[in-house]
Amino acid sequence: MAMPQTLAQKLVARASGRAYVRPGEIVTCRVDLAMFHDSGGPRRLKPMLDELGATIWDKNKVVLVIDHYVPEADDDARRIVRIARDWAAEQKLPHVYDSQGICHVVVPQGGHIRPGMFCVGGDSHSPTGGAFGAYMFGIGATEMLGVVVTGEIWLQVPQTIFMRWDGRLARGVTAKDMMLAMLGRYGMNGGEYQAVEYCGAAVEALSMAERMTLCNMSAELGAQVGLVAPDETTRSWLLEHDAGAVETEPWHSDDNAAGVRHRFDAATLAPQVALPHSPANVRSVADLEATRIDVAYIGACTGAKLDDLRAAASVLAGHRVAAGVSLLVAPASVRDAEAAEREGVLRVLREAGATMLPSACGACAGYGATIPEGSTVISSTARNFKGRMGALTAQVYLGSPYTVAASALRGRIADAREMLP
């Protein structure tokens, strides 16, 4: 009889050419997709490849996204972006997304990630790919060099931590709140650099965008990968995004597979907010409603996908932001921005007083000088470390797009559930 395996074990076993792998084993895995961006990609890889006289193992399995330093704000940004564009042209890379949005959103929207794949990304938020039932994690430039040349990487098979969410989220409560609650309970090392699998009725009810938020912030939880077992929701989304044939059946954890198990009740969850300067410094929104804000920021791969923009618009419709508050919106991808425009979502945001920014990493990664020094910010991004958003003296709070929009209206941190129609 076959030993029961977790989803993580099955994905690693497939990539290593094995029928079964045991947590703690070190295996060599074949990589199905390597993604990198302008910040950590060509400007790091090109000199090393040139020095070695090496070439890319399979250009069809490489995706370059130019998202961090665009639009180019200064000479350094122009130099970095030019290196990326020139190298992509020199290598004749077939999959390049230039100024189309943030890599963790653009790559799935391009149909590059499917259940069962083993992927690496040159960015810490690469676990986003786990929302599709793929094993995807972030690596540094030296590790990426090895992957780009050989198509392989070694891995210690992880244990799995199951985060089971029973029940159903109330309206105005989101995957971002789920993640902040887990961070508040377990801290930024709670994932122990293992695999975290999100499961239960509340997770199964989430849209793909919300599942992406959970897996994206597995990085903040300290996991190597975040995973959601693929299902019909996954299949439908991928078919809509031209991903081709989608196989979901084998990619789930077996009953009785070994792992650590935690359980939560989604129905009792209130909106959560992370205080400066850590995503794990979490309180309920009700504890912070006297906190006045200067800037409300809706952006990043974590918090500005189409579903996130819709959530913000549902709060802001027919209203204007509070006097003295700057509402900034940077859609996660051009595709999402175009869809939001067609639906009238962006019109609602603009009429509420929002300033629209380009679809790029922007202030989440400290680019663009959009956050004033000394300001108090509520943001839908993933991190609020000191200086992370480009202003060393800013006080940055994290919340869901609902919470950010509600706070923009009130001029202080607020619970969106009180404002939803």
Please state, in angstroms and rounded to a whole number, the distance separating the CA atoms of residues 97 and 85.
Answer: 10
Per the CB < 8 A criterion, the answer to whether 130 and 226 are in contact is yes
User: Running DSSP on this structure, what letter comes out for residue 122?
Assistant: S
Sorted by where each starts, the structural domains of the chain and their CATH numbers stand as 9-264 (3.30.499.10), 272-418 (3.30.499.10)
- 358-407 tens-digit pLDDT: 999 998 888 876 899 999 999 999 999 998 998 999 999 999 999 999 99
Q: What is the pLDDT of residue 367?
A: 80
Q: Would residue 399 be called left, alpha or beta, if left means φ above 0 and alpha means ψ between -120 and 50 degrees? A: beta
pTM above 0.75, yes or no: yes
pLDDT at position 295 over 80: yes
DSSP strand E in 38-89: where? 62-66
pLDDT at position 211 over 60: yes
Contacts (Cβ under 8 Å, ≥6 apart) of 8: 135, 157, 158, 160, 195, 197, 225, 227
% of residues, the chain, pLDDT over 70: 100
Please state, in angstroms and rounded to a whole number, the distance separating the CA atoms of residues 211 and 129.
Answer: 10
Q: Hunting for tokens 């921005």 — which residue is that?
A: 337
Section 325-345 average pLDDT: 98
- 240-259 tens-digit pLDDT: 998 777 888 899 999 999 99
Q: What is the pLDDT of residue 142?
A: 95
233 confidence band (pLDDT: 50, 70, 90): very high
| Cα three-residue angle 9-149-242, rounded to 5 degrees | 60
Section 215-235 average pLDDT: 97
Please state, in angstroms and rounded to a whole number, the distance separating the CA atoms of residues 346 and 362.
Answer: 18
DSSP letters of 318-382?
T--PPTTPEEEE--SBHHHHHHHHHHTHHHHHHHTTPEE--SSSGGGGT-SS-SPTT-EEEESSS
Q: What is the pLDDT of residue 242?
A: 80
Which of 68-72, 240-244, 372-376, 409-413 is predicted least confidently? 240-244
Please state, in angstroms and rounded to a whole number, the distance separating the CA atoms of residues 106 and 128.
Answer: 11
- 121-134 tens-digit pLDDT: 999 999 999 999 99
Element containing residue 297 per DSSP (H, E): strand 295-298
Phi, psi of 226 (to 5 degrees): -115, 140
Read off the tokens for 220: 């903040």
Please state, in angstroms and rounded to a whole number, the distance separating the CA atoms of residues 145 and 97.
Answer: 20
Q: What is the pLDDT of residue 186?
A: 97
pLDDT at position 332 over 90: yes
Please state, in angstroms and rounded to a whole number, the distance separating the CA atoms of residues 257 and 194.
Answer: 15
